[in-house]
Amino acid sequence: MRVIYNERMADLAHLLGEMAGLAGSAMDRATQALLQADLPLAEQVIGEGDRIAEMIADAEEKSFALLATQAPVAGDLRQVVSAIQIVNDVNRMGTLALHVAKVARRRHPNHALPEAVNGYFAEMGRIAVSMGQGAKEVLESRDPERAAQLNQDDEAMDDLHRHLFTLLMDRDWKYGVAPAVDVTLLGRYYERFADHAVEIGRRVIFLVTGELPPDTDTES
């Protein structure tokens, strides 16, 4: 039974890592679609949402099957519960990438972003993709030190988000209400993506050490 449990947990960890990698890849392409007003690329990201959804369902099924058939306790139970929570975070990351792609599609053939903020979103996209890859690595390696490093990237994302908000509040903003709304929503999508990657890191630290680091905001 122990061998079976370990094999199934390893399978689940691999699946979660693959999903996190796909979420990062989706955000990468969604960012390109946003910056370049690339409709085919946006449609590609949106179309692949079903694949992530199928993997989410598979991961949930595997997690609950472990609870039902293996009756884990102590450290084993901690691993399974953490995996269930991580499934939700990866799901949100994939959904946020889809939101970015949908904004790019909705505004096509126009650019959703004023040129003045392109640099902000190029950097936010870079950080988000890096954090998606980091989450994948952490899920596969279960390295608590690497998991803790995700916080540093999140701080950089938060700084960019604050600066972006300052730009929106400046009375010299000349691009109108609709672009301001898009920029506000998009900035939030990238910020939340990073927050969920950090939450994955927290959960990995918990399942390895049994100690949960201080909470981060992941209400959506």
Indicate whether 207 pLDDT > 60. Answer: yes
- Reference 162, options 184, 130, 129, 194; nearest CA is 184
- Which residue has better confidence, 5 or 174? 174
20-49 per-position pLDDT tens digit: 999 999 999 999 999 999 999 999 999 988
87-125 per-position pLDDT tens digit: 999 999 999 999 999 999 999 999 999 999 999 999 999
- Reference 112, options 188, 25, 184; nearest CA is 184
- Reference 52, options 29, 32, 35; nearest CA is 29
3-state secondary structure of 173: coil
Indicate whether 219 pLDDT > 80. Answer: no
Mean pLDDT value of segment 152-169? 92
- Interatomic CA distance for residues 118 and 124, integer angstroms: 10
45-75 per-position pLDDT tens digit: 999 888 888 999 999 998 888 877 766 667 7
CATH says 2-209 is which class?
mainly alpha
SS (H, E, C) 76-90: HHHHHHHHHHHHHHH
Mean pLDDT value of segment 185-204? 95
Indicate whether 218 pLDDT > 60. Answer: no
Longest Cα–Cα distance in the chain: 66
- Interatomic CA distance for residues 64 and 68, integer angstroms: 6
Q: Where are the domains of the chain?
A: 2-209
Whole-angstrom CA distances from 201 to 29, 126, 148 are: 23, 19, 6
- Interatomic CA distance for residues 165 and 153, integer angstroms: 19
- Interatomic CA distance for residues 99 and 95, integer angstroms: 6
- Interatomic CA distance for residues 162 and 183, integer angstroms: 12
Whole-angstrom CA distances from 151 to 132, 148, 213 are: 13, 6, 11
* Contacts by residues 168-176 (CB-CB < 8 Å, ≥ 24 positions apart): 175/114, 175/116
Indicate whether 1 pLDDT > 70. Answer: no
